[in-house]
Structures are given as structure tokens and as C-alpha cells.
Amino acid sequence: MLRSRIVGTGHYLPEKVLTNFDLEHMMETTDEWIRQRTGIFQRHVAADDEFVSDLASHAAKRALADSGVDANEIDFIICATLTPDFLMPSAACLIQDKIGARNAGACDLSAACSGFVYALQMADALIRAGVHQTILIIGAEEMTARLDWTKRDTAVLFGDGAGAVIVRGEEGERGVLTTYVGSDGSAADILSIPVGGSRYVLTPENINELDRGIRMNGRELYKRAVVAFEEATVRALEGARISAADLALFIPHQANKRIIESAAERIGLEREKIFLNLDRVANTSAASIPIALDQARAEGRVKDNDLVLFAAFGAGLTWASAVVRW
């Protein structure tokens, strides 16, 4: 059977690190509050001259090196991001140029924190339909470009980074077994960046009045995220016709430790099978799962033929999941 196999992974985190103790000097917050509510201890922050296409290109080059695939063999590039360098052109086109992928189509995908898993579903479908053979998926974010460091409700949650995978069509049992996506636009207002699109256009007159950052109703989002996350994990297991006991590892979107643990509990998954890195990198939105995947591999936690579950939720609302046989 033709399957889409992840044949290489890579990630990149900017050098600068801000810990919760650093944030204590920047806003009214405490390390204890942040750690207790979210599990986050530190986040990476992009340099002033580093943008999403730069973070993404570093991660992509590492995934290419890991896979042994040449950049010219890539047929298609999907960059999942909500913080592209520009509204136009796409970050994916800038990445295509930076990595020298001369034979690739390229586009961005907008599904917020679920973007990487949405992209994996699309790549899997394109490969199994015979449209493309080799696809580069990147999740990349510069969330701090959208943060107001005086707003403690959102500023403590996010970080910057990029993760990339090379997906290839191969005959066999290893690869993507199932994917699932969901959405609910009726809850669009509980997590949004309203300014910068066509509805609220920045002008010289309103530039100081409009809030250009992330708007979030944390409590409402928390409630919805628990439900969506559980739904995503259950649907993935059903789709792959496996139980939680069959899983070797669960790599969730790293937004909040409590949300992740409640989803794992719902499917009866032991805590030791959850990969957590949000203490080190915070919430990097679409980059979160591919960064975690690459780190999990580096730590020897993903072995050949292991069943690995990905699950994410994000603005939209969107949620998504996948099971991969490594």
C-alpha cells in the first residue's frame, strides 16, 4: 500500500531565551502563576532581523539533511503559520527560494495552532492520490511579533520557533495511518488577531488606537480546548483502529499542560507516553508539534514502527489529529 512516510525531521529555535523570571521584571506576573496554570517556564524569542521564513528555512534544511533528500526533489512546500513575513507573498515562497527548492510549488496554510496537522492531512492526500511524491511541511511562528509585553494574559503563553518534516510516498506499512480535522467558526472571537486583515486596516489615523496583538478569552478557550482535544484524540484512535495502549508516544500541541493531561486521561494514556516540551519552548502554535517531534526523536523516544499520535487545537476554532506508524 502507498503510504506517506515522514522520512526526515528538523527544528530551529532562536538563540534568545526569556524565562518566567525575566517576565517578572517586564509585567505583573510570577513564575509560580505561569508554571501552575500552564506548565511553561521559558520561551525562545526571534532576533530583530529574524523572521518566520528564516526560522522555517533553518528547520527545513535540517529536515532535508536528516532525510538525505535533495531540495530539488521537493514537489510541494506547505508552510503552516499565522505569523508569515508578509500577507503576500507567502512565507512558503520565501522558503522555497532560501532552501533552493527549484521544482516545488509552495503555499501557506492558515489553521492556527492546528496548522501542522492540517498540512499533514493535505500532504498525505496529495501523495496517495499520486499528485506529488515528496512534500516539505513546515510549522513556523514568530508569535512574539504579535505580543504586547505589557499584557500578561497572553504575553506569558507564547514563543517563537519552527519545525519541519519531509513526507514521501513509499510502499509499505509505515507512514500516516489516519488524519482527522474539525472546525467551529462560531467561536472565532475567543482567540483572534483582528487587525492586519481586510476588516481592520491600519491607517495613520488609527494606528495608535487599534490593538495589533492577540485577543483571547482564556477561560472560554480552555473549556473548548479540552473538549476539542479529547474529540481529536478519540477520533484518531478510531480512525487508526487502535487503542491508547498501542501508542508508543503522544505528541500534542503544546499550549497548556492541564489540557494535554486531561485529553490523555480521557483516552486512558499513561503520562509517561506524553511528550512535553512546553516548559522549554512555550506555545509555538503551528510549530509546536514538529518541534516536539524532532526533539522526541533526538531523545530516542520514537523508534521504527512505533505508533505516534499527534493532536492539536487552535484559533478558528480548529482541531486536528493524526496517527503515524514510524
Residue 38 near ligand ACO by CB under 6 A: yes
Residue 90 near ligand ACO by CB under 6 A: no
Is 11 part of the annotated catalytic residue set?
Answer: no
Helices (H), 4-90: 20-24, 31-38, 52-67
Identify residue 261 by its one-letter amino acid code: E
Residue 163 near ligand ACO by CB under 6 A: no
Is 79 part of the annotated catalytic residue set?
Answer: no
Q: With CB under 6 A as the contact rule, which of the stretches 31-39, 55-63, 130-138, 163-171 interacts with ligand ACO?
A: 31-39
Residue 278 near ligand ACO by CB under 6 A: no
**Spatial separation of the C-alpha atoms in residues 77 and 101, rounded to whole Å:** 9
In the complex, minimum distance from the CB of residue 296 to ligand ACO, in angstroms, rounded to a whole number: 19
Using DSSP's 3-state secondary structure scheme, residue 167 falls into strand
Cα-to-chain-centroid distance, residue 147: 18
Residue 81 near ligand ACO by CB under 6 A: no
Residue 104 near ligand ACO by CB under 6 A: no
Residue keyed to cell 507564547: 158
- In the set 20, 113, 132, 256, the catalytic residue is 113
Residue 291 near ligand ACO by CB under 6 A: no
Q: With CB under 6 A as the contact rule, which of the stretches 98-106, 177-185, 218-226, 240-248 interacts with ligand ACO?
A: 218-226
Q: Which three cell numbers stand for residue 24?
A: 517578572
Mode of pairing for the β-strands spanning 42-45 and 76-80: unpaired
Q: With CB under 6 A as the contact rule, which of the stretches 29-37, 233-241, 262-270, 296-304 interacts with ligand ACO?
A: 29-37
**Spatial separation of the C-alpha atoms in residues 139 and 191, rounded to whole Å:** 19
Run of H or E including 228 = helix 218-240
**Spatial separation of the C-alpha atoms in residues 227 and 190, rounded to whole Å:** 15
Q: Angle, nearest 10°, between helix axes 91-99 and 52-67?
A: 50
Residue 281 near ligand ACO by CB under 6 A: no
> Which of 106, 158, 96, 160 lies closest to 132 in space, CA to CA?
106
Q: Which three cell numbers stand for residue 259?
A: 489540557
The residue count for binding ligand ACO (CB under 6 A) is 23
| 233-262: contacts with ligand ACO (CB under 6 A) | 255-256
Q: Which of 41, 200, 222, 326 binds ligand ACO (CB under 6 A)?
A: 222
**Spatial separation of the C-alpha atoms in residues 17 and 160, rounded to whole Å:** 10
Is 253 part of the annotated catalytic residue set?
Answer: yes
Which of 29, 262 has the CB closer to ligand ACO? 29
Q: Which residues bind ligand ACO (CB under 6 A)?
A: 29, 33-34, 37-38, 112-113, 152-153, 156-157, 191, 218-219, 221-222, 225, 255-256, 283, 313-315
Give catalytic residue positions: 113, 253, 283
